């Protein structure tokens, strides 16, 4: 017997009765003792099976479910590597985290627990595009059943062609996927970039980008960064949508900041003001300023810009902060993500800065004007 000889066949009912086995590859079927000839015979017109994609079989007649289509797409694009195992309690996790959770302690390096991908090797294929946004819960994306195409992100070196309902998206860099219902799914920012690259409807692009921050799925900077890497910011309708995205992110962050101050009874600051020295240079604008304590608060809603790299943007912010602190002004830096995670914790940071202000030398006199 050679390694090409199939195993002795078992009754086929053991496959079709198990929901998780209703979509299998030719290689998996062979491991169950089913030759390609037998599989193809069962896929004849009127037969009990179907050939969904090259080398991927649906083990029942009729239309595949949305879940079966997703599994078939991943099996076609990702070979025999199983999807990320679902975590107890649900939620989203990265592939590496899922693999670490699944592997029992003491598992030797390079090996994995039965049924799981080895931790160092994440799935080489993941759902992206509109299907990924739907799995993430976007209201503005179609239902999985309504999608006639499933985008699958793979490394650029993967030799695959789009076929049937599967559209292969090749990436120079592939992010760690998130686990949703046991499937590897591209993070929201990457899925948005892969979606926007295929859309020409300005209204749809705008709605999806705005929903990404309005729904709390990700930060605007992450979205703009992915669009920049995908070289999509040169398209006018994408630039307009990004302007709306940044404005929405800013408005939401300011709303959370107001809520933090009033809910946690912090002293009323001067909102949205410019600071300058008497007869001197403009020091910059801040989102909130407490003159008596010389404490300034800045919301970081920066997004990457095509003409400045992220290091240059950070240096620009750092110079401004250094100038203010050089005058004795304490600068509190908050991000929308931190506010979203815990208003109470961020309020405690601001309160601490206000309380410790009395321990410092008085700040140099600055002029405060509305922005």
Tokens linked to 73: 């797409």
Report d(CA 82, CA 75) in Å as an integer.
Answer: 8
Q: Give the model's pLDDT for residue 310.
A: 56
The answer to whether residue 81 scores a pLDDT higher than 80 is: no
How many of the other CB atoms lie within 10 Å of CB of 325?
Answer: 13
Nearest CA to 194 out of 161, 168, 166, 218 is that of: 168
* Per-residue pLDDT reduced to its tens digit, 103-145: 333 333 333 333 344 444 555 799 999 999 999 999 999 999 9
**Is 285:257 a contact under the CB 8 Å cutoff?**
no
* Per-residue pLDDT reduced to its tens digit, 258-285: 999 999 999 999 999 999 999 878 888 9
**Is 153:190 a contact under the CB 8 Å cutoff?**
yes
Cα separation of the two ends of the chain:
82
- The share of the chain scoring above pLDDT 70, in percent, equals 78
What are the structural domains, with CATH classification, of the chain? Answer: 15-62 (no CATH), 63-105+112-248 (no CATH), 265-370 (3.40.960)
Q: Give the model's pLDDT for residue 282.
A: 87
Q: Give the model's pLDDT for residue 346.
A: 96
Report d(CA 135, CA 252) in Å as an integer.
Answer: 24
Q: Give the model's pLDDT for residue 238.
A: 95
Q: Give the model's pLDDT for residue 320.
A: 83
* Per-residue pLDDT reduced to its tens digit, 176-225: 999 999 999 999 999 999 999 999 999 999 999 999 999 989 989 899 99
Global pTM value: 0.76
Q: Give the model's pLDDT for residue 187.
A: 97
Q: Give the model's pLDDT for residue 360.
A: 77
């Amino acid at each position: 017997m050679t390694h090409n000889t199939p195993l002795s066949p078992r009754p086929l009912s053991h496959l079709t009765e198990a929901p998780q086995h209703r979509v299998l590859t030719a290689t998996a079927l062979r491991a169950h003792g089913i030759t390609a000839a037998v599989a193809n015979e069962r896929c004849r017109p009127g037969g009990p099976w179907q050939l969904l994609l090259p080398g991927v079989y649906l083990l029942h007649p009729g239309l595949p479910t949305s879940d079966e289509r997703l599994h078939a797409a991943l099996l076609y694009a990702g070979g025999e590597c199983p999807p990320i195992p679902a975590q107890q309690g649900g939620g989203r996790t990265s592939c590496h985290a899922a693999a670490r959770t699944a592997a029992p302690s003491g598992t030797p390096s390079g090996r994995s627990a039965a049924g799981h991908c080895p931790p160092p090797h994440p799935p080489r294929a993941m759902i992206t595009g509109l299907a990924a946004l739907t799995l993430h819960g976007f209201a503005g994306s179609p239902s999985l059943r309504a999608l006639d195409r499933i985008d699958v992100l793979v490394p650029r070196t993967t030799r695959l062609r789009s076929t049937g309902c599967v559209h292969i998206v090749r990436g120079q860099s592939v992010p760690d996927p998130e686990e949703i219902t046991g499937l590897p799914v591209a993070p929201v920012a990457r899925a948005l970039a892969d979606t926007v690259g295929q859309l020409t409807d300005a209204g749809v692009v705008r709605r999806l980008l705005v929903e990404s921050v309005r729904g709390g799925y990700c930060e605007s900077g992450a979205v703009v960064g992915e669009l920049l890497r995908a070289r999509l910011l040169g398209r006018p309708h994408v630039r307009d949508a990004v302007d709306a995205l940044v404005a929405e992110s800013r408005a939401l962050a300011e709303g959370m900041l107001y809520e933090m101050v009033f809910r946690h009874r912090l002293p009323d600051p001067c909102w949205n003001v410019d600071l300058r020295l008497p007869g001197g240079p403009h020091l910059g604008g801040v989102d909130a300023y407490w003159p008596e304590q010389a404490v300034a608060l800045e919301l970081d809603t920066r997004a990457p810009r095509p003409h400045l790299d992220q290091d240059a943007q950070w240096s620009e912010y750092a110079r401004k902060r250094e100038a203010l602190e050089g005058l004795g002004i304490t600068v509190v830096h908050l991000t929308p993500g931190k506010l979203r995670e815990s208003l109470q914790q961020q309020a405690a940071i601001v309160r601490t800065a206000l309380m410790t202000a009395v321990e410092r030398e008085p700040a140099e006199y600055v002029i405060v004007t509305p922005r």
